[in-house]
Amino acid sequence: MKIPSISKIFGGGRDRSADAPSPADKARYEGTLIAHGLTKTYNTRRVVNGVSLVVRRGEAVGLLGPNGAGKTTCFYMITGLVPVDSGKIAINGNDVTGMPMYRRARLGVGYLPQEASIFRGLTVEENIRAVLEVHEPDSAKRNRKLDELLEEFHIAQLRKSPAVALSGGERRRLEIARALATDPTFMLLDEPFAGVDPISVSDIQNLVRHLTARGIGVLITDHNVRETLGLIDRAYIIHAGEVLTHGRADDIVNNPDVRRLYLGNNFSL
């Protein structure tokens, strides 16, 4: 998929006000997350070199590659955890390149880290309520949204249970339900399949499909390439800090360079 022309979002020179995007320009990019020409250097080593990608609402996109390829650094630049050396990031037509994570969240980005992010000392419902109290001032709407999320992710029966006692799959459902309390348009999932059992793998795949069915765009980075390729609509393969190729899972698997440099000749879905 081609990266759309985004000069109207980012501006073409130092006078950014002169090139500010019009409402029509911003409307054109509604429902897209775009990274354009991202670079990152540590000491003298360029670990990300001009990576561009796009995620649209309602699709799941993988960001994959071998260890040390630069995919994690690229992913963290998109989340806001790592600053960009050069390049730009736009969400729904808004330039967020220099914004911290909390401002990106306000513009519609949810982030689920690899590590457990639940509030261990709270119950299941208290975990979700803690986020809703920040984002929804109306108590009746808060309670209704809480009940809807508990039911939607099949954890209503666990609402009074301590979060620390949940299984891996139940914890992931709680974390995603809590993330959706802010009504994001995009979810960034960092290693969602790491350290989970086969039953939980299937559970997580179903959760991601549920997110895309909801119209949420999902960007996934994970070392479990088979599980990820079996789930996503498209993937970008990062190698030596650059996009080696991108496309649908079958195209990725059958690409001779991807097999030679990343998957191996015996790989199959």
Residue ranges of domains in the chain, CATH in brackets: 7-118+166-263 (3.40.50.300)
Are 169 and 196 in contact by the 8 Å Cβ rule? The answer is yes
Please write the tens of the pLDDT for every residue from 179-224: 999 999 999 999 988 877 787 788 889 889 999 999 999 999 999 9
46 sits in which H/E element: strand 45-56
Note the pLDDT of residue 115: 82
- Stretches where the chain sits below pLDDT 70 are 1-23, 25
Note the pLDDT of residue 198: 80
DSSP strand pairing (60-64 vs 234-239)? parallel
Note the pLDDT of residue 194: 80
Other C-beta atoms closer than 10 Å to the C-beta of 17 total 6
